[in-house]
Amino acid sequence: MLTDANLWAYEEGTPILVDPVNGGGALPTRHWSSGSFEQIENINSDAFQKIKTGNRACYQCAIGCRQFHEIGDVRGEGPEFETIALCGANCGIGDIEALMRFNAECDQWGLDTISTGSVVALAMDMDLQGIAEFGFRFGDESYVTAPALIAKREGVGADLALGARALAAKYGHPELAMEAKNLELPGYDPRGSFGMSLGYATSDRGGCHMRCYPVADEVIEGSQPPDTLEGAAARIIGGNIDNGAIGQNFSSVKFSGIWCDFWAINPSQIGQLLKHLWQRTVTDDEVMLLGERIWNLGRLLNLREGVEADTLPARLLEPAGAHRDGPAAGKAIGRAEFEAALQEFYQIRGWDENGVPSEAKLAELGVDVRL
Amino acid sequence: MPHVLISSKKCTGCHMCELACSAYHEGVYRPSVARLFAEVNPTSGAIKGHTCLQTACAKCQEACPNDAIVTKEITLTVKGEFAAKGKVGDSVKGYVLVVVDDLCTNCGECYDVCPTDVIHEHPTKEVAYKCDLCDGEPQCIAFCQNPHVLAVDLKIDKMDKTGRAPVEVG
């Protein structure tokens, strides 16, 4: 539903996040070598408002947050914030038309912009460091040819199609891959928002900003410090519904119900909707319990299938990887601090030191299936 | 004369109007049996609204060999700014074109001439069906839920192509 609370989604869409995230030093820039992009004014929300042609909605949605733009001979939907981050700043691209074109290419070829932007930036980084020559360089607009090459596995596209982890490993530098559980990380640098380090690492499907969103507290609203993990574990799990800093438990039930992220629905409203479905009262507590149960079931499935340990690339945790300049300059999470926060996360969740849900927790949640 | 119009500039292609229409008339949420629709080009995002222009067009009434499409009096309330020319909140008296099921033989002449492609054979009855302005409270307008931008609204047209006197229809 379109209300004053989410009118931003209609008026600006996700590009509204570009300036605050860049301002917090948390915008991946030139393959995560910096947390802010000096050319951001060319590809921020204001820049896209100047070339906006209209709004479109997903089926049945009153918000209509899809922004359509036109520049030169490129027109169509997007780019969203993630695309501006991963295919713009992360590739050192400050040209709005080139970014529009790259986005359109990914759209046409059916490629995810986060993974594509990430692997192209990795290729640019390896080129810069003399590790391999892919013909793509930071800031070079010829990068718009990459999506087609990747989709067709043609030329250098054959290598880039491997994805960040396999590509970096192939050329002997696995430490360069910016991914968690083999899913390329989205547009929030944990060094500028420490809570996201736990968020990415404990996400069931790898590097994901949708499972929990401490960025809302730490960067957008600034109500929580972005440079400490103290208290982060609880926020990752429980979250804050009022300011968009959604936690894993609530995101589990909200997205299982396929409610859009941008509808600030609360547990009480979900309870009312479920009441019509189940013909009985559904309390706020039960709604949150549903979410916790979903998360635990997902964990059981992952464990059965041999999921990797919850961790992050060393570059994002260790002092040697800290940014040299920008708002997050010199800030490092620290591996020991990260591991301690991870253990705190497991404890709060009622899991053992390896992240395995305890029998007591499963009984509490009413989970009687063992996967 | 009043008819529903979809603003191609404001419409976001959410299809809520179609859901409201099908729910009100057919008791199901099924855009394919709505009496209006927003045509959306998925790549360019271009929008074209398809609504019945009622007496401003009246080609279906003209084509019908059985006089099954009749003119009926109706009173409506104008909701949004769109094309209302200051009449927002006012009651507007006008005419609506209605299919009389008992007289319709499903010959299909009206289906062929409709310029906006909004009259078709009913999904379950073998007669034509079209927009009837919901007895005065168009549901498509009520449900265009984008309160900041009302994209579906009444257009008060000066044109009146109907040659026939209004009748009482039950």
> Which of B146, B149, B150 is most worth mutating to test chain A (most A CB atoms within 10 A of its CB)?
B146
Nearest partner of A58 among A84, A80, A88, judged by Cα = A80
Structural domains in chain B, CATH included, are: 2-156 (3.30.70.20)
Predicted confidence at residue A4, as pLDDT, reads 83
Q: Which residues contact A341 (CB under 8 A, 6 or more apart)?
A: A197, A198, A229, A232, A233
The pLDDT confidence band at residue A243, using thresholds 50, 70 and 90, is: confident
pLDDT digits (tens, 9 = 90+) for A271-292: 999 999 999 999 999 999 999 9
B-chain residues near A68 (CB < 8 A): 45
Alpha-carbon distance of B8 to B45, in angstroms, equals 10
Predicted confidence at residue A17, as pLDDT, reads 97
- Residue B8: which region, alpha, beta or left (left: phi > 0; alpha: psi -120 to 50)? alpha
B-chain residues near A6 (CB < 8 A): none
pLDDT digits (tens, 9 = 90+) for A140-168: 999 999 999 999 999 999 999 999 999 99
Three-class SS state of A67? strand
Helix (H), strand (E) at residue B5: strand B2-6
The pLDDT confidence band at residue B81, using thresholds 50, 70 and 90, is: low
> Which of B6, B9, B14 is most worth mutating to test chain A (most A CB atoms within 10 A of its CB)?
B14
The pLDDT confidence band at residue A6, using thresholds 50, 70 and 90, is: confident
The alpha-carbon gap from B164 to the nearest alpha carbon of chain A, in Å, equals 39
Contact across the interface for B9 and A55, Cβ inside 8 Å: no
Give start and end residues of each alpha helix (H) in chain A: 7-11, 18-23, 45-49, 81-83, 96-109, 113-128, 146-152, 157-160, 164-170, 195-202, 215, 232-238, 248-256, 267-278, 284-304, 314-317, 335-349, 359-365
Mean pLDDT of A223-243: 93
Contact across the interface for B40 and A58, Cβ inside 8 Å: no
Does residue B12 surpass a pLDDT of 80? yes
Predicted confidence at residue B1, as pLDDT, reads 77
Q: Which residue of A has its CA nearest to B151?
A: A62
Alpha-carbon distance of A195 to A162, in angstroms, equals 29
The alpha-carbon gap from A174 to the nearest alpha carbon of chain B, in Å, equals 38
B-chain residues near A58 (CB < 8 A): 14
Mean pLDDT of A301-318: 96
Residue B44 has its nearest CB partner, among A10, A62, A76, at A76
pLDDT digits (tens, 9 = 90+) for A247-265: 999 999 999 999 988 888 8
The pLDDT confidence band at residue A358, using thresholds 50, 70 and 90, is: very high
Alpha-carbon distance of A51 to A74, in angstroms, equals 11
Predicted confidence at residue B145, as pLDDT, reads 65
What amino acid is encoded at A69 in this protein?
Answer: H
For residue B26, with 0-12 CB atoms within 10 Å meaning exposed, 13-18 middle and 19 or more buried, which class applies? middle
* pLDDT cut 70: percent of chain B above it: 88
The pLDDT confidence band at residue A307, using thresholds 50, 70 and 90, is: very high
For residue A354, with 0-12 CB atoms within 10 Å meaning exposed, 13-18 middle and 19 or more buried, which class applies? exposed
B90 or A270, which is more confident? A270
Q: Which residue of B has its CA nearest to A104?
A: B43
A-chain residues near B149 (CB < 8 A): 10
Predicted confidence at residue A256, as pLDDT, reads 95
Q: Which residue of A has its CA nearest to B146?
A: A62
Does residue A359 surpass a pLDDT of 80? yes
Does residue A357 surpass a pLDDT of 60? yes
Domain locations along chain A? 1-187, 188-371
Predicted confidence at residue B73, as pLDDT, reads 92
The pLDDT confidence band at residue A2, using thresholds 50, 70 and 90, is: confident
Contact across the interface for A2 and B147, Cβ inside 8 Å: yes
Please tell us whether the domain made up of A1-187 is placed in CATH 3.20.20.70: no
The pLDDT confidence band at residue A30, using thresholds 50, 70 and 90, is: very high
Mean pLDDT of B121-126: 95
Mean pLDDT of A68-77: 94
Residue A57 has its nearest CB partner, among B12, B43, B147, at B12
* pLDDT cut 70: percent of chain A above it: 100
According to CATH, what is the number of the domain A188-371? 1.10.599.10
**Token reading at A26:** 């948390």
Nearest partner of A30 among A102, A107, A93, judged by Cα = A93
pLDDT digits (tens, 9 = 90+) for A166-218: 999 999 999 999 999 999 999 999 999 999 999 999 999 999 999 999 999 99
Predicted confidence at residue A349, as pLDDT, reads 98
The pLDDT confidence band at residue B170, using thresholds 50, 70 and 90, is: low
Count of Cβ atoms closer than 10 Å to residue A13 Cβ: 26
- Residue A64: which region, alpha, beta or left (left: phi > 0; alpha: psi -120 to 50)? left
Predicted confidence at residue A97, as pLDDT, reads 98
Residues of B with CB under 8 A from a CB of A: 9, 12-16, 19, 40, 43-45, 145-149
Mean pLDDT of A66-75: 94
Contact across the interface for B14 and A77, Cβ inside 8 Å: no
Does residue B169 surpass a pLDDT of 70? no
What amino acid is encoded at B32 in this protein?
Answer: S
Buried residues in B120-155 as b, exposed as e (16+ CB within 10 A) = bebeeeebbbbbbbbeeebbbbebbbbeebbbbbbb
A147 contacts A116 by C-beta, under 8 angstroms:
yes
The pLDDT confidence band at residue B163, using thresholds 50, 70 and 90, is: low
The alpha-carbon gap from B11 to the nearest alpha carbon of chain A, in Å, equals 8
Backbone angles phi, psi at A325, to 5 degrees: -145, 180
Does residue B80 surpass a pLDDT of 80? no
Three-class SS state of B2? strand
For the question of an ipTM over 0.90, the answer is: no
Q: Which residue of A has its CA nearest to B145?
A: A62
Mean pLDDT of A73-84: 95
Predicted confidence at residue B82, as pLDDT, reads 60
Contact across the interface for B14 and A61, Cβ inside 8 Å: yes
Predicted confidence at residue B146, as pLDDT, reads 62
pLDDT digits (tens, 9 = 90+) for B27-64: 999 999 999 999 998 777 889 999 999 999 999 999 99
A85 contacts A21 by C-beta, under 8 angstroms:
yes
Contact across the interface for A2 and B146, Cβ inside 8 Å: yes
Predicted confidence at residue A286, as pLDDT, reads 96
Backbone angles phi, psi at A273, to 5 degrees: -70, -40
Q: How far apart are the first and last CA of chain A?
A: 38
The pLDDT confidence band at residue B84, using thresholds 50, 70 and 90, is: low
Predicted confidence at residue B77, as pLDDT, reads 77
